[in-house]
Homo-oligomer: A and B are copies of this chain.
Amino acid sequence: MTVFDVTDRSRDLRQRLLAFMDEHIYPNDAEAARQVNEGDRWQHLPLIDELKPKAREAGLWNLFLPPASDPDGTFGPGLSNLEYAPLCEIMGQVWWAPEVFNCAAPDTGNMEVLARYGTPEQQEQWLFPLLNGEIRSAFSMTEPDVASSDATNIESSIRRDGEDYVINGEKWWTSGAGDPRCAVSIFMGKTDPNAERHLQQSMILIPMDAPGVTRERMLTVFGYDDAPHGHAQMTFKDVRVPASALLLGEGRGFEIAQGRLGPGRIHHCMRLIGQAERALELMVARASSRVAFGKPLSAHQHVRELIAQSRMEIDQARLLTMNAAHMMDTVGNKEARGQIAAIKVVAPNMALAVIDRAIQVFGGAGVSQDTPLAMMYAQARTLRLADGPDIVHIGTVAKEELRRQGEAARGRDNVFSPSS
């Protein structure tokens, strides 16, 4: 619908994906909820297992995987970020949908890390099962005892001991650790607390069943446990893994984090736009069918303002996201860091505003289990915190702007000369 809809194959995949969603996802939304709510909440959904082969057969598999990470197109279509954006948005509209297409966080980010930085052995052990959707994974970075907005605060230790590394630390918001298929976590900690500030950290692969790994408790988000995925607080006590489990090299944790977070952030934003779009769709449907004071809600000027405001905000955020994706594709993640930071601020705040309006139009149903809105709100709210709070990304945008204008140096001649 926008100038960004560039390639034919992206358009084609979009049509196929929409058809799949209509055939297999939306009609099963209530069934998914039923499967979570009945019995043990921490079981894999049989529904997802049924649908995965269908999705793969339809060519809707590993859509996130960039061509550089899969040059032969073995595992997926090898889409650019810009091509993936409209697809990610659609999958993001339903909480359990991305996994059906093997496009769920945090696996996507982890797979990309493994594809870019993993050794052949690491890839054999963890990447291929992930790409085939056989196992799931987690990412252990944030710690309860220090401010996560400043990643240098991380205190966990990864200590070399002979042929092994020994890991100690407490992590939380290890998302996905609730899933019984979660087999491995990428763990960030300090290999050298005395090194230069950004070279103290490393990343290492830890099997979830390694001795010393304990899932202490599951965290709630607003009232939700987000089962069966979940967010765990974990203790790592004298966990021992072979030295070959280290990713890329000692002191390169920040480097990997930067590479991982770019795509991860923009994928979150794409899903948020999908969430907002769905919230607007629900809002319009409700407004069209409910009557108050003698006319449908959609005929009340106030409700029309809520609808219009939402449309304007969604479209702006979507274009900003697509532009960021385009920048990543053309000038690279590093050069696009300002654009990535911007969308990481804009998308969650936009989604929260739109979902909140939808809740208001729905009334009591909006905060209850009768709509997906409250859960969508809770998830979107965490994305103003996850991967860094808004203010950190705002700082990045400001820094880039100051740098850019400093470089531009169009000179004082262009700046206003006051009349006297």
Q: How far is the CA of A291 from the CA of B288 in the complex (A)?
A: 27
Please list 5 pairs of residues, one from A and one from B, whose beta carbons are closer than 8 Å in the complex, sorted by A's number: A172-B364, A284-B401, A301-B391, A316-B319, A371-B416
Within 8 Å of chain B (Cβ to Cβ): is A74? no
Do A148 and B222 have beta carbons less than 8 Å apart? no
Q: Given the complex of chains A and B, what is the CA–CA distance between A392 and B290 in angstroms?
A: 16
Contact yes or no, A364 B282, CB < 8 A: no
Expressed in whole angstroms, the Cα–Cα distance for A286 and B292 within the complex equals 28
Question: How far in angstroms is the closest Cβ of chain B from A227?
Answer: 11
Binary B-proximity of A19-33 (CB < 8 A = 1, otherwise 0): 001100011011001
Question: Do the beta carbons of B30 and A419 come within 8 Å of each other?
Answer: yes
Asked if residues A315 and B308 are in contact (CB atoms below 8 Å), the reply is no
A395 CB-CB contact with B under 8 Å: yes
Query: Which residues of B have CB within 8 Å of A6?
Result: 3
Decide yes or no whether A369 CB sits under 8 A from chain B.
Answer: yes
State whether the Cβ of A322 lies closer than 8 Å to any Cβ in chain B.
yes
**Are B368 and A221 touching (Cβ within 8 A)?**
yes
Chain B residues with CB below 8 A from A406, complex form: 288
Known A285-B415, A394-B304: A375·B223 in contact at CB below 8 Å: yes
Residue-wise, chain A 379-412 has the 8 Å CB interface mask toward B (1 for contact) of 0011011100111001111111110011000100
**Which residues does chain B contribute within 8 Å of A326, judged by CB atoms?**
2-3
Given contacts A360-B389, A414-B21, contact A2 B323 (CB under 8 A): yes
- The distance in angstroms between the C-alpha atoms of A34 and B420, with both chains bound, is 8
Q: CB of A305 within 8 A of chain B?
A: yes
What separation, in Å, do the CA atoms of A368 and B386 have in the docked complex? 13
Is A195 in the interface zone, CB < 8 Å from B?
Answer: no
Q: How many angstroms between the C-alpha atoms of A328 and B396 in the bound complex?
A: 35
Q: Is the CB of B305 within 8 A of A147?
A: no
Within 8 A of B (CB), among A111-162: 142, 144, 146-150, 153
Q: Are B370 and A418 in contact (CB under 8 A)?
A: yes
Contact B378 A342 (CB under 8 A): no
Give chain B residues whose Cβ lies under 8 Å from the Cβ of A284: 401-402, 405
Residues of B with C-beta under 8 A to A370: 219, 416, 418
Complex copy number for this chain:
4
CA A298 to CA B4, docked complex, whole Å: 35
The range of chain A's interface size is: 35 or more
Q: Name the interface residues of A312-365: CB closer than 8 Å to any CB of B.
A: 312, 315-317, 319-320, 322-323, 326, 338-339, 342, 345-346, 359-360, 363-365
Q: Cβ of A300 < 8 Å from any Cβ of B? A: yes
Can you name the residue of chain B whose Cβ is closest to the Cβ of A4?
A: B3
- 11 extra A-B contacts, CB within 8 A, seeds A29-B417, A153-B291, A363-B389: A2-B326, A3-B82, A26-B417, A27-B417, A146-B290, A147-B290, A148-B364, A282-B415, A285-B405, A304-B398, A304-B399
Contacting residue for A315 out of B30, B148, B323, CB 8 A? B323
Residues of B within 8 A of A221 (CB): 223, 367-368, 374
Report A135 CB to chain B, min CB distance, Å: 25
A66 at the interface (CB under 8 A from B): no
Do B374 and A223 have beta carbons less than 8 Å apart? yes
Bound form: Cα–Cα A338–B34 in Å:
40
Docked CA distance A280–B363 (Å): 28
Q: How far is the CA of A405 from the CA of B370 in the complex (A)?
A: 21
Please judge, given known A-B contacts A224-B223, A301-B302, A397-B308, whether A149 and B363 are in contact too, CB under 8 Å: yes
Roughly how many angstroms separate A44 CA and B247 CA in the complex, as a whole number?
53
A214-247 CB contacts (< 8 Å) to partner B: 217, 219-225
Are B173 and A397 in contact, CB atoms less than 8 angstroms apart? Answer: no
Q: Are A281 and B415 in contact (CB under 8 A)?
A: yes
Contact of A369 among B220, B293, B300, B374 (CB under 8 A): B220
